[in-house]
Amino acid sequence: MTDIRTAGYDEWLDSIDTGEGYYLACPNGHGSLPPRAVCPHCGSAELEEETLPDAGSVEAHTIVHVPTPRFDGEAPYVTAVADFGDVRLTGVVRGLAPADVEDGLAVVPTVVDREDGEGRLLVLEAR
Ligand SMILES: [Zn+2]
């Protein structure tokens, strides 16, 4: 899991943490998250930072009953993919009981410190 702990991703988490979230947009309207050198959809190297919408909506979700060791003690929890316009974010849903999470739920991205002290976690907070 060291591949996501790059400076680019950490800086991106900082941007979410301070309420100044962004994503990378290419001239063809594709969105992606850092670290990226080129657009993962079309290969364009002309990536610009665009402001991330304040809220997104859950597009797909899964209730996890048997967690990976890193999430031991947190199950059951919900992981979701949320639609933020040109870009999608994947995170753990908080603020609602797992059974109450539905596709279409409005969520706000936040960053929390992991309970095991092993870095930070993107959370999709139900609103
Ligand atoms: Zn593109």
Q: What is the pLDDT along the chain (127 residues), one digit of tens a residue?
A: 334 445 588 899 999 999 999 999 999 999 999 999 999 999 999 999 999 999 999 999 999 998 877 777 778 999 999 999 999 999 999 999 999 999 999 999 999 998 778 889 999 999 8
The answer to whether the CB of 23 falls within 8 A of the CB of 84 is yes
For ligand 1, the distance from its centroid to the CA atom of residue 27, given in whole angstroms, is 7
For ligand 1, the distance from its centroid to the CA atom of residue 37, given in whole angstroms, is 11
For ligand 1, the distance from its centroid to the CA atom of residue 45, given in whole angstroms, is 8
Q: What is the pLDDT of residue 34?
A: 92
Residues 77 and 108 in one domain: yes
Residues 10 and 64 in one domain: no
For ligand 1, the distance from its centroid to the CA atom of residue 34, given in whole angstroms, is 14
- How many domains would you assign to the chain? 2
Residues 47 and 1 in one domain: yes
Residues 70 and 108 in one domain: yes
Residues 65 and 44 in one domain: no
Domain that holds residue 2: 1-52
Residues 67 and 94 in one domain: yes
For ligand 1, the distance from its centroid to the CA atom of residue 43, given in whole angstroms, is 6
d(CA 53, CA 59): 15
Q: For residue 66, what are its two tokens? A: 């048997």
Q: For residue 95, what are its two tokens? A: 């603020």
Q: What is the pLDDT of residue 7?
A: 59
Residues 48 and 81 in one domain: no
